[in-house]
């Protein structure tokens, strides 16, 4: 939410639980969060699926899957988390750019 609000592309950003009726609804699903440790230090992978819809018209505007990978910084849990954080950042940056272009 902070990334979407910070993009400046939207007048307001609120969670669905807030009761705010917006003109665009973004749903994001985490499809995959994986640390491939078959080689040292490993690779982190994040896959998200996003759907933009118009809740008033009950129409789907667009859907897209975002995948990003990043190297783990070390061959342990801390390194995997750092890689996953970086991969998630990349996927979310792409998602925000995509959503802003479709508003």
Q: Where are the domains of the chain?
A: 2-101
Distance (Å) of CA 67 to CA 5, 21, 54, 57, 93: 22, 30, 24, 29, 11
Q: What whole-number distance in Å separates Cα of residue 23 and Cα of residue 27?
A: 13
Task: Return the CATH architecture of domain 2-101.
Answer: 3-Layer(aba) Sandwich (3.40)
- Please state the pTM of the whole predicted model: 0.87
* pLDDT tens digits, 30-64: 999 999 999 999 999 999 999 999 988 999 999 99
Residue 24 is given by DSSP the state: -
Q: What is the DSSP string of 76-93?
A: SHHHHHHHHHHHHHHHHH
Q: What whole-number distance in Å separates Cα of residue 22 and Cα of residue 34?
A: 33
pLDDT at 92: 95
């Amino acid at each position: 939410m902070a990334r979407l609000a910070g993009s400046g592309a939207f007048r307001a950003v609120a969670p669905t639980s807030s009761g705010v009726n917006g003109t665009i609804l973004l749903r994001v699903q985490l499809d995959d969060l994986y640390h491939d440790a078959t080689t040292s230090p490993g690779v982190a992978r994040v896959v998200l699926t996003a759907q933009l819809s118009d809740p008033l018209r009950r129409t789907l505007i667009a859907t897209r899957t975002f995948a990003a990978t990043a190297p783990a910084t070390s061959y342990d849990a801390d390194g995997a988390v750092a890689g996953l954080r970086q991969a998630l950042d990349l996927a979310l940056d792409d998602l925000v750019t995509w959503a802003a272009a479709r508003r």
